[in-house]
Copies of this chain bind each other. A is one copy, B any other.
Amino acid sequence: MDFDDVVRGRRSIRRFTDRPVPDETVGQILDLARHAPSSMNGQPWCFVVVRSAETKRRLAELKNRFCPLEKREYPADFLATAPVVIAVCAHRDRAHDRGRESALLASATILLAAHRFGLGSVFLSAYESKGDELRTAIAGLLGLPDGVEPFTLLPLGHPGGPPVGKALRPRSELVHIERYGRLPPED
């Protein structure tokens, strides 16, 4: 599939059909994720592939419990019904102080690769912007040892409907030339 089409066509999907996601497809997606960059090439990733209904239900419950007030219009209930949830984690002793960055870069590949394989996903962090309770609870649920931290929870499934419309900000509003405030000519 064409790279530009994958990037432009990928959307955040929060509703999934029952159609199963084969292990082989999950493997192909994670195979691509391995190619993400990482600090000092430490490749600190650990991908926990969750299919257990009970674990997915508890992940959804944890995400909802720690959801900030302003984001409650997006409950994480769909984690319980997605066929697969990938928890992207990093080993601290391979992360060179950049576990979060390496985990997020691999997560970006997974989000794109899901779309390339006809699946949907959405970015969910496995930690609060302040505080450690969510991260600790998820680490406990997944049996992560000390030194392995969870960073994202990415559902995988066949989209349960067309994505909601999304207006992109024009490029001319986002780009600054040399210094902030020097805008490029309009296209």
Task: Please list the residues of chain A having a beta carbon within 8 angstroms of any beta carbon in chain B.
Answer: 1-8, 10, 12, 27, 30-32, 34-37, 39-41, 43, 45-52, 55, 68, 70-71, 74, 89, 96-98, 100-101, 104-105, 107-109, 111-113, 116, 122-123, 125, 129, 142-145, 148, 166, 168-169, 171, 174-181, 184, 187
Q: Across the interface, name the chain B residue whose C-beta is closest to A115.
A: B3
Q: Given A4-B32, A7-B32, A108-B109, does the pair A46, B123 have CB atoms closer than 8 Å?
A: no
A179 in complex: contacting residue of B48, B176, B180, CB < 8 Å: B48
Q: Which residues of chain B have C-beta atoms less than 8 A from A105's C-beta?
A: 104, 107-108, 111, 123
Interface residues of chain A: helix, strand, loop or mixed (majority): mixed
Q: Which residues of B contact A145 (CB under 8 A)?
A: 180-181
Report B-chain residues with C-beta under 8 Å of the C-beta of A98: 125, 129
- Do A116 and B179 touch across chains, with their CB atoms under 8 A apart? no
